[in-house]
Amino acid sequence: MLLLTHPTGNANVRALLQGALHAGVLGGYATALGFADSGRRLASLPRGLTAELHRRSYDLPAESMWVRPQREALRLFCRRLGLHGLSRHESGWASVDAVYQDLDRHVASRLANWCRQRRVTTVYAYEDGALATLTAARDLGLTAAYDLPIAYWQTGHALLAEEARRWPAWAPTLLSTADSAQKLERKAAELRAADVVVCPSAFVLESIPAPLRKGKRCVVAEFGSPAATSTAVPGRTSPEGRRLRFLFAGSMSQRKGLADVFAAFAMLRRTDIELVVMGSPMMPMAFYRSHGCDFTYEPTRPHAEVLALMDRCDVLLLPSIVEGRALVQQEAMSRGLPIVVTRNAGGEDLVREGETGFLVPIRSPEALAARIAWLADHRRRLPEMSQQAREMAGRYSWAAYAGKVMAAIATSPGGWIQPA
């Protein structure tokens, strides 16, 4: 039986939970703040509170969940009221790091009891919240599975340090170098404690130093896509006679290559193309406006409205420097947007050159500009590329993702037991 632990839950956690539940091998799920089988109870709460709690609701039997809510509840409370001291990076009692490590220690302390009660043989934990849990699992003779969602920190730091030298003004948007030496050593220790390592892309897998991969089963499990639109979006079938809309979506950081996007558009200075930037600013808006590139800014919004914005655009640009597997790529393709991305965005397998989009090198505004210009000059190809992008996105399901993860665990040295 499989025990999953993650403080907040996300799309891939939920997919694996449902896969394990349907396969009859879910031994339990430990999270910080969560509600199982709670639709009717949440419906009776005030609307403003319900939206946040729905994001923490799981379609699981109540007996399958264990929660540790104190720090995460306080973190959310502090965020709403702007009380940043308690949630300060690493040091705050209710910081993200504190939430992760508190749940990690809690699971480790109770793992032996849960093993006896639920016949757990495999523990699956996530980066920054796994060390105590995986160590305890190995001490108990369990299989220790570890999820690394983004490039290993040494690779990420090296890439972003170079970006800080390339674009000094953008250095404040890079952030990752704020992690302490203790936190970085903890990441390495987590990998050492794992029997199985699951990555969302080949880029992430290859970022792990060879000594840390030695003796482990390391696999790539690609994320699933949203349901693809079955027909072309009205207006996108005839891109002649209007400006093509290129969408950048994500945090407004050079980690995602936004400086290179601006540089590419500044090189082109074409009147038949338009840049739309949707995301969270990390600097004053005047900073972004100062780079010689005109763009339309769109603030962050609920997911359904993000998809609606994609329907009003033609191509996704994401020349990321460091990612895991940016889900926005498959979201955009599911709406019929071809993609222009780097391999470091984690979606190399999504790109058939000239059919579903293009791969460009990192740190090359020139290559990015060339692909933008090609798409503008060959806009008659876009309806066909749009259809092929939708079809490619449809090849990736969350059920297949969960199946890959469980197959990796099943074929690991520790093996896998039958359903209870």
Residue-wise pLDDT tens digits, 151-166: 999 999 999 999 999 9
Q: What is the pTM of this model?
A: 0.91
Kindly report the CATH number that applies to the domain delimited by 2-224+398-410.
3.40.50.2000
pLDDT at position 237:
62
Mean per-residue pLDDT of the chain: 92
Identical fold, 2-224+398-410 and 244-393: yes
| Domain boundaries defined on the chain | 2-224+398-410, 244-393
pLDDT in tens, 346-370: 999 999 999 999 999 999 999 999 9
Look at residue 417 and tell me whether its pLDDT is greater than 50: no
pLDDT in tens, 260-296: 999 999 999 999 999 999 999 999 999 999 998 999 9
pLDDT in tens, 179-235: 899 999 999 999 999 999 999 999 999 999 999 999 999 999 999 999 877 666 665
Q: In CATH, what is the architecture of 244-393? A: 3-Layer(aba) Sandwich (3.40)
Q: What is the 3-state secondary structure (H, E, C) of the chain?
A: CEEEECCCCCHHHHHHHHHHHHHCCEEEEEECCCEECCHHHHHCCCHHHHHHHHCCEECCCHHHEEECCHHHHHHHHHHHHCCCCCCCCCCCCCCHHHHHHHHHHHHHHHHHHHHHHHCCCEEEEECCCCHHHHHHHHHCCCEEEEECCCCCHHHHHHHHHHHHHHCHHHHHHCCHHHCCHHHHHHHHHHHHHCCEEEECCHHHHHHCCHHHHCCCEEEECCCCCCCCCCCCCCCCCCCCCCCEEEEEECCECHHHCHHHHHHHHHHHCCCCEEEEEECCECCCHHHHHCCCCCCEEECCCCHHHHHHHHCCCCEEEECCCCCCCCHHHHHHHHCCCCEEECHHHCCHHHCCECCCEEECCCCCHHHHHHHHHHHHHCHHHHHHHHHHHHHHHCCCCHHHHHHHHHHHHHCCCCCCCCCC
